[in-house]
Amino acid sequence: MSETYNGHDHPHEETRTGAESALYASRIRAIEALLVERGILTKEEVRRQIEYMEARSPANGAKLVARAWTDPEFKARLLSDTKAAARELGIDASGPVEFLTVENTPEVHNLIVCTLCSCYPRAILGRPPDWYKSFAYRSRAVSEPRAVMREFGLELPMDVTVAVHDSSADVRYMVLPMRPPGAEGMDEEELARLVTRNSLIGVSVPLEPGLAG
């Protein structure tokens, strides 16, 4: 049994309290109104950008995983160039931030964290869950990853290596989990329903067939 840690020294986004978030939201609305008033942006452009961000959700990651489970060539592209693979399915992950997909195997289980803040593949998966941004998760995912996963209901065999990946301002990670037993013969839509947000982060594994809602 072993654990590995892929750490980085990098600038990060800050984690904010609820009061701070409300303050920033108020400022953003004021700036938005000023930009519209001065003709720099239109309300329609603002609306389209909001809709674009709201379209980012774990469902995108589930689509990528389901296709990778059924198409070995797509899986290879996803692992080698996540942005290009996402584009094939109509998911826009363009921008300066690099995205890497790491594959779970019977020998290695991957866990994603951002040790200093909340860097996360937002362009693909949307907003991170609150617990991902918490100090407890950010510190314990590195020091005791098995204990953290156990609290999410995942107990890994001791001969499985846990690889912890630290997301940064430049690189974001997503997990390609293993296809669960009993999922043979399921189509992509059915398979996508087995993929949870937590399995894309690595604190859990996909649902078993018959348990997906």
d(CA 200, CA 58): 8
Instruction: Tell me whether residue 151 is in a domain.
Output: yes
Query: Across the chain, what does the average pLDDT equal?
Result: 87
pLDDT band for 135, please (50, 70, 90 cuts): very high
According to DSSP, the β-strands at 108-113 and 3-6 are: unpaired
Residue 184 and residue 152 share a domain: yes
Q: Is residue 156 part of a domain?
A: yes
13 or 18, which is more confident? 18
Please tell me whether residues 23 and 75 are part of one structural domain.
no
Based on the fold, state whether residues 63 and 42 are members of the same structural domain. Answer: no
- For residue 61, give the nearest of 3, 120, 114, 117 by alpha carbon: 120
Q: Supply the pLDDT for residue 212.
A: 64
Please tell me whether residues 109 and 156 are part of one structural domain: yes
Q: Residue 7 falls within a domain, yes or no? A: no
The answer to the question of residue 183 being in a domain is yes
61: Cβ–Cβ under 8 A, 6 or more apart, which residues? 121, 124, 125, 174, 195, 197, 200
Say if residue 88 is in the same domain as residue 27.
no
Question: Cα(187)–Cα(211) distance, rounded to whole angstroms?
Answer: 16
Neighbours of 116 (CB within 10 A): 19
State which of 31, 51, 71 marks the end of a domain. 51
Alpha-carbon torsion (202, 123, 18, 51), positive or negative: negative
Q: Are residues 25 and 71 in the same domain?
A: no
CA–CA dist 36, 102 (Å, integer): 41
- Average pLDDT score over residue span 183-193: 96
Asked if the structure places residue 121 within a domain, the reply is: yes
Residue 206 CA: distances (Å) to CA of 50, 69, 113: 30, 12, 18
Per-residue pLDDT reduced to its tens digit, 91-112: 999 889 999 999 999 999 999 9
Q: If DSSP codes are grouped into helix, strand and coil, which group holds residue 213?
A: coil
Q: How sure is the predictor about 35, in pLDDT bands with cuts at 50, 70 and 90?
A: confident
Task: Specify whether 118 is catalytic.
Answer: yes
Q: Which range marks the domain in which residue 33 is found?
A: 18-51
Predicted local confidence at residue 18, as pLDDT: 58
- pTM of the shown model: 0.81
Domains: count for the chain: 2
Please indicate, yes or no, whether residues 94 and 184 belong to a single structural domain of this protein. yes
Q: How far apart are CA 133 and CA 116, in angstroms?
A: 9
For residue 86, the domain's CATH number is 3.90.330.10
Is the domain of 70 the same as that of 163?
yes
Q: Is the pLDDT of residue 13 over 50?
A: no
Q: Whats the size of the chain, residue-wise?
A: 213
Q: Is residue 210 part of a domain?
A: no
Q: Looking at the structure, do residues 34 and 71 belong to the same domain, yes or no?
A: no
Question: Per the domain annotation, does 90 fall within a domain?
Answer: yes
* Average pLDDT value for residue range 76-97: 95
Backbone conformation region of residue 95, classed left if phi is above 0, alpha if psi is from -120 to 50, else beta: left
Do residue 37 and residue 65 come from a single domain? Answer: no
45 and 23 belong to one structural domain: yes
Catalytic residue among 2, 80, 114, 139: 114
119 an active-site residue? yes
- Which residue is catalytic, options 2, 21, 94, 118? 118
At 34, is the pLDDT very low, low, confident or very high (cuts 50, 70, 90)?
A: confident
Domain match, 88 and 141 both: yes
Domain membership of residue 152 (yes or no) is yes
